[in-house]
Amino acid sequence: MRPLVDLHAVTVRAGGDTLLSDVTLQVQRGEALRLWGPNGGGKTTLLRLLAGQVAPVEGLRTYGLRGGVQHSAVQARQTLGVVGPDAEAFYLTRDWAQTVQDVLLSGFEGELLNLWDARPEALQRLEEVSVLTGLTSLLTRDFRTLSHGQRRRAILARALMAAPELLLLDEFTDGLSEGARAGLSEVLTNVHKAGVAIVLATHRPEEAPELSWRSVHVQGGRIVDEPATSAETSLAPTLPRPPGSAPLVQLDHAEVYRNGHLALGPLSWSWNTGQHWLVTGENGSGKSTLARLIAGEFHAALGGQVTRPFLTRDLLTERRRSVGLVSAELGMRQRREWTGRDLIGSAFAGTEGFSELLSPAQEAQVEALAAQLGVTGLLSRHTETLSQGQLRRLLLARAVVHGPRLLILDEGLDFLDASSRTAFLALLPDLAAKGTHVMVVAHRASDAPPGLTHHLHLDHGQAVYSRALQPARVASS
């Protein structure tokens, strides 16, 4: 039987860099294929190559979609898409409202936007897919108001609208709560049972649906003949507790509305000197909104108040110089023609992407930190050419290069392989000893380093509890 996609000795280059080299791979009908390998190994580029979003400069790519044979990627681009954070980012960064229904209907037509009145067959498919993915009650919602889990579900539904023979998933479970992961795994299992092939790139194979996966190792832009192995994990070093008890951030009946919907609050809470916080909750509970409120990206609605006593002047530039933030939304804003060096260096001036001329000492800091985190080779690369994992490593470097007073990791270790997570967590004790206070927003216990002192759990924008952590329980809470 002819494969859905047949790659023979394919090479892909972009911006002068070779991203894939001499790749030969077949994706068979109805199979489940898992791509694994280190950050920057080429997994995302391989997904985009399969989807027809990038073209080979050498070798041959042949599609066997809809029973035909095509060397052109036109039909592939209309029926295949990579489901992941980049697809969500397109709709989150538009300046106009698009309902979930609009997003799904655009997938039926193979377009990015829903430009036409829906045909009867499109509306029928919309009903089928919304029932399958549990989106019926959300069809009239503005896509930008959805929780992380709801957005991922909607992007999956959009990919299913064209009745594809192949689904392409990029770090599909990152950023999702355990409940959201379980719900989407059930959807994917049902889709696969219906005969749809699935290709999944992931650093967390334990979170993948229980399918009969064939594993392919992608490293250095090549397919490597090496069996899948369990990543070795080392215990993260414990964060020391900075001295003092003065307030750093205080919220007094704070509420935040996002696109007309109450996303957080009313919440009264304080972050004091000497405290490292763990923040948990389901997708849509308000965790990311709280992180952005503390960092000054959001403001409390009238009647609530946020104060930051640790700042001499509570201005946006001062907040950005004093707070290191890593989040999905921040990453979306960096897909520009900025280099990795621009991105990291912008932390010193409290800007994004572009930065003032760095001093020799600052340049040395950037170079040294890049070497520690293994991203020296990314300093000259444009951020729009990077994989999610590569971009996340640069964002982590940006968050700590200036020794911030507050470090907020909103699912900050998503998209990283095990060695990259270990390398970054190793930096935190020294930062904390010098006065950096850490907040970790996480769904996974493994992403919360030992030494966190307090735990805030949110549900529907309000605090369920806020309490001190027992030292013996910190690493597993």
**pLDDT tens sequence across 420-471:** 999 999 999 999 999 999 999 988 777 788 999 999 999 999 999 999 997 6
For domain 247-476, give the fold: Rossmann fold (3.40.50)
Average pLDDT over residues 157-174: 90
Encoding tokens for residue 288? 């990311």
| CA of residue 87 relative to chain centroid, distance | 11
Residue 474: the pLDDT is: 43
Q: Where in the chain is the domain with CATH 3.40.50.300?
A: 5-224, 247-476
Separation between Cα atoms, residue 285 and residue 463, nearest integer Å: 9
Separation between Cα atoms, residue 181 and residue 172, nearest integer Å: 9
Average pLDDT over residues 178-188: 86
3-state DSSP call for residue 445? helix
3-state DSSP call for residue 54? coil
Encoding tokens for residue 132? 């399958």
Say which residue, 23 or 78, is predicted with more confidence: 23
- Give the list of residues 6+ apart from residue 117 with CB closer than 8 angstroms, or none: none
Average pLDDT over residues 115-127: 91
Task: Report the b/e string of 419-429 with b at 16+ CB within 10 A.
Answer: ebbbbbbebbb
Residue 447: the pLDDT is: 79
Separation between Cα atoms, residue 48 and residue 20, nearest integer Å: 11
Residue 448: the pLDDT is: 85
Q: How confident is the model at residue 477 (pLDDT cuts 50, 70, 90)?
A: very low
Residue 234: the pLDDT is: 59
Output the average pLDDT for the chain: 88
Residue 306: the pLDDT is: 95
CA atoms within 13 A on the CB side of 377: 10
Q: How confident is the model at residue 22 (pLDDT cuts 50, 70, 90)?
A: very high
Average pLDDT over residues 180-192: 89
Check if the beta carbon of residue 242 is closer than 8 Å to that of residue 419: no
Q: Which amino acid is at 77?
A: R
- The candidate with the shortest Cα–Cα distance to 438, out of 291, 296, 298, is 291
Q: Which amino acid is at 19?
A: L
Separation between Cα atoms, residue 52 and residue 49, nearest integer Å: 5
Q: Which of 76-80, 110-114, 450-454 shows the highest mean pLDDT? A: 450-454
DSSP 390-429: HHHHHHHHHHHTT--SEEEEESTTTT--HHHHHHHHTTHH
Residue 258: the pLDDT is: 82
For 274, list phi and psi in degrees, rounded to 5: 90, 0
Rounded percentage of the chain residues whose pLDDT exceeds 70: 96
Helix 418-425 crosses helix 388-400 at what angle (to 10 degrees)? 0
* CA dihedral over 59, 64, 68, 74, signed as positive or negative: negative
Which of 63-67, 226-230, 391-395, 414-418 has the least mean pLDDT? 226-230
Average pLDDT over residues 170-193: 86
For domain 5-224, give the fold: Rossmann fold (3.40.50)
Q: Is the pLDDT of residue 269 over 80?
A: yes
Task: Report the b/e string of 90-117 with b at 16+ CB within 10 A.
Answer: ebbeeeeebebbbbbbbbbbbeeebeee
Separation between Cα atoms, residue 51 and residue 197, nearest integer Å: 13
Average pLDDT over residues 320-338: 85
61 bridge partner residues: 7
Residue 227: the pLDDT is: 61
Q: Is the pLDDT of residue 272 over 90?
A: yes
Residue 455: the pLDDT is: 95
Q: How confident is the model at residue 228 (pLDDT cuts 50, 70, 90)?
A: low
- Give the list of residues 6+ apart from residue 27 with CB closer than 8 angstroms, or none: 3, 4, 5, 6, 33, 50, 166, 197, 199
DSSP 307-361: E-TT-SS--HHHHHHHEEEE-HHHHHTT-SS-BHHHHHHHHHHT-SS--PPPPHH
Q: Is the pLDDT of residue 183 over 70?
A: yes
